[in-house]
């Protein structure tokens, strides 16, 4: 890598340009911390604490269980759980047994679940009892050999563990009775009767796949991204280098980001395991519960998504909570509005910066410096050992500074490829460079800016319009809480700009007033022609707006209107 890249001049002395990476498998870090910090708290879950010694013991039992059930090196283990102790134990147990983890979103429908299980060829799945009906409905159409069923209550302290089944019945209107069979196992029984006698499996960190992480599917059928042990380990070592003020064994990390998303997995779970931090697990994001948890547990690190910070800032009682423990946050998954950054930093006294990455990059490639120079609106600088450039569409030809093109990245965190998809792999990986599909630019100082996803670009009357640019202007409006911009068909212009907006609570927005506001801040061809107001935007679990869904809904409405005429 070229040591004269412009971004290196902004690196503080504490951040190296290059890192000497451990030649270790990911689960070896748990073996280390489990012995080094045996009595230290590893997990906090709704009032229950688990030490690193206890965590390692249960991970070994799960590894032995998987191997007894016939798991061979490289076999896939699906984990369909929210953030809970069982999720961490299943993940590291599968790796320790020599398996490959397949993270499954607990919100998936039967159709989505069947697709992912069949595409990955998973032999095992660990799921909550309330998800068992979904698994059972498609089980015979998959390669599943073993199902392990657990309950949220399994790791709750008394009396929560007694009360929780009643809460679950009220919330989900269901009580699932699980009958153990030769192929259906109850988690508590597996752990209670299990032994730690697993067989150690040799791992080649650079070649062996630790994780099949499926892309969100916002641009087509989800693809399994093959991330090796080395990919994941190197990205966590980069996190540690970037956040150089973090103290080994002495931080508390708020786990509001789901572990079944690669961002939460790397910046919360794997970082904590590697460093001996305590994780405070939240099974789902709820603004009030998160505020209470920050005040009580005093986390110092809070990786999140813009929607999480927006949700907290819009809670009417936020000023009643002490959030001063929060020292550092890296925001990902979507652009971070300046207003949100400034307000959150003022309330917490900590630092909130924007970063960037993809599932294919384990996931982080760029971020603003947490305690040093940063530029609002930028995704920041490439991380150590990460090369990045702006290229001409469809090539690896670098464009001049300031010009808009596709962002390309190269580094040790870049995926091995797509699972069973050689064509897509070759289209995405070119001469070692990963084509991100995101349009962006780099300034003279080496700071990068995302203009938009290549697939989201709107072409109206021959003009290229990047939704993010319009969204940034809308976010600056005092009465707008959230906004997204999409392109919809237009007989005259080809496409036209539509803004879908969530007003702040108690605020009423006027389309004419918004039009005047946008015309004041945007070139005429970028101004939205259509405004729609909603109470909320459809999002993925990580907070990324589902633009494709909004487009499909708009197209259906347009078809209905045309038919009515």
User: pLDDT (tens digit, 9 = 90+) per residue, 500-525?
Assistant: 999 998 999 999 999 999 998 887 88
- According to the model, what pLDDT value does residue 307 have? 82
In the chain, helix, strand, coil percent, each to 5?
35, 25, 40
3 state SS for 44-112: EECCEEEEHHHHHHHHHHHHHHHHHCCCCCCCEEEEECCCCHHHHHHHHHHHHCCCEEEECCCCCCHHH
Q: Are 545 and 539 in contact (CB under 8 A)?
A: yes
Tokens of 413: 């965190």
Q: Are 216 and 398 in contact (CB under 8 A)?
A: no
Tokens of 292: 């209470």
- According to the model, what pLDDT value does residue 155 have? 95
Q: Give the chain's mean pLDDT.
A: 92
Task: Give the pLDDT band (50/70/90) at residue 218.
Answer: very low
| Interatomic CA distance for residues 110 and 234, integer angstroms | 35
Q: Which residue, among 134, 48, 138, 39, has the nearest Cα to 85 in the 3D structure? A: 48
- According to the model, what pLDDT value does residue 195 have? 97
Task: Give the pLDDT band (50/70/90) at residue 112.
Answer: confident
Task: Give the pLDDT band (50/70/90) at residue 490.
Answer: confident
**Ramachandran area for residue 164 (φ above 0: left; ψ -120 to 50: alpha; else beta):** alpha
In sequence order, what are the residues at sequence separation of 6 or more whose Cβ sits closer than 8 angstroms to the Cβ of residue 509?
479, 480, 501, 503, 531, 533
Tokens of 332: 């990902």
What top-level class would CATH report for the domain 26-202? Answer: alpha beta
pLDDT for 339 beyond 90: no
DSSP 285-312: --HHHHHHHHHHH--SB--B-HHHHHHH
CATH topology classification for 457-564: GMP Synthetase; Chain A, domain 3 (3.30.300)
Tokens of 435: 């084509």
Q: Which residue, among 69, 73, 179, 188, has the nearest Cα to 124 in the 3D structure? A: 69
Taking residues 365-393, report their average pLDDT. 95
Taking residues 448-463, report their average pLDDT. 79
Q: Are 253 and 277 in contact (CB under 8 A)?
A: yes
* Domain extent listing, the chain: 26-202, 457-564
Choose the weakest-confidence range: 57-66, 76-85, 105-114, 232-241.
105-114
10 Å Cβ neighbour count for 164? 16
């Amino acid at each position: 890598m070229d040591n004269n890249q412009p971004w290196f001049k902004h690196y503080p002395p504490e951040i190296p340009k290059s890192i000497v990476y451990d030649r270790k498998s990911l689960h070896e870090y748990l073996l280390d911390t489990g012995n080094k910090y045996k009595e230290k708290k590893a997990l906090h879950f709704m009032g229950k604490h688990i030490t690193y010694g206890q965590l390692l013991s249960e991970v070994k039992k799960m590894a032995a269980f998987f191997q007894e059930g016939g798991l061979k090196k490289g076999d896939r283990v699906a984990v369909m759980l929210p953030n809970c102790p069982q999720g961490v134990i299943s993940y590291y147990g599968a790796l320790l047994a020599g398996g490959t983890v397949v993270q499954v979103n607990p919100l998936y429908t039967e159709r989505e679940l069947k697709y992912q299980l069949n595409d990955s060829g998973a032999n095992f799945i660990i799921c909550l009892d309330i998800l068992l009906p979904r698994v059972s409905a498609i089980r015979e159409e998959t390669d599943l050999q073993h199902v392990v069923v657990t309950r949220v209550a399994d790791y709750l302290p008394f009396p929560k563990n007694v009360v929780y089944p009643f809460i679950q019945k009220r919330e989900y209107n269901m009580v699932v009775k699980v009958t153990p069979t030769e192929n259906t196992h109850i988690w508590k029984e597996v752990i209670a009767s299990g032994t730690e006698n697993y067989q150690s499996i040799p791992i080649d960190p650079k070649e062996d796949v630790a994780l099949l992480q499926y892309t969100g599917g916002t641009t087509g059928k989800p693809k399994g991204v093959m991330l090796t042990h080395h990919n994941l380990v190197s990205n966590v070592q980069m996190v540690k280098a970037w956040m150089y003020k973090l103290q080994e064994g002495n931080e508390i990390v708020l786990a509001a980001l789901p572990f079944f998303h690669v961002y939460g997995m790397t910046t919360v779970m794997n970082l904590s395991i590697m460093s001996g931090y305590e994780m405070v697990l939240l099974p789902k994001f709820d603004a009030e519960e998160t505020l209470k948890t920050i005040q009580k547990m005093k986390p110092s690190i809070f990786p999140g998504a813009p929607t999480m910070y927006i949700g907290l800032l819009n809670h009417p009682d936020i000023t009643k909570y002490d959030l001063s423990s929060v020292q550092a946050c890296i925001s990902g998954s979507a652009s971070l509005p300046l207003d949100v950054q400034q307000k959150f930093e003022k309330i917490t006294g900590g630092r909130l910066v924007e970063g960037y990455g993809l599932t294919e990059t384990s996931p982080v490639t760029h971020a603003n410096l947490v305690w040093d120079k940063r530029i609002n609106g930028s995704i920041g600088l490439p991380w150590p050992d990460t090369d990045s450039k702006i290229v001409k569409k469809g090539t690896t030809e670098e464009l001049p500074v300031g010009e808009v093109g596709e962002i390309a990245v190269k580094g040790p965190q870049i995926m091995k490829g797509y699972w069973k998809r050689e064509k897509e792999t070759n289209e995405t990986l070119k001469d070692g460079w990963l084509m991100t599909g995101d349009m962006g630019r780099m300034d003279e100082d080496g700071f990068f800016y995302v203009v938009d996803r290549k697939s989201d670009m709107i072409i109206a009357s021959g003009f290229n319009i990047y939704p993010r640019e319009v969204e940034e202007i809308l976010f600056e409006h005092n009465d707008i809480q959230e906004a997204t911009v999409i392109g919809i068909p237009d007989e005259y212009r080809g496409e036209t700009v539509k803004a879908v907006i969530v007003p702040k609570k108690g605020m009423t927005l006027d389309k004419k007033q918004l039009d005047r506001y946008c015309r004041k801040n945007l070139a005429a061809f970028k101004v939205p022609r259509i405004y729609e107001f909603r109470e909320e935007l459809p999002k993925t679990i990580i907070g990324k707006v589902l633009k494709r869904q909004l487009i499909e809904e708009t197209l259906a409405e347009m078809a209905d209107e045309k038919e009515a005429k």
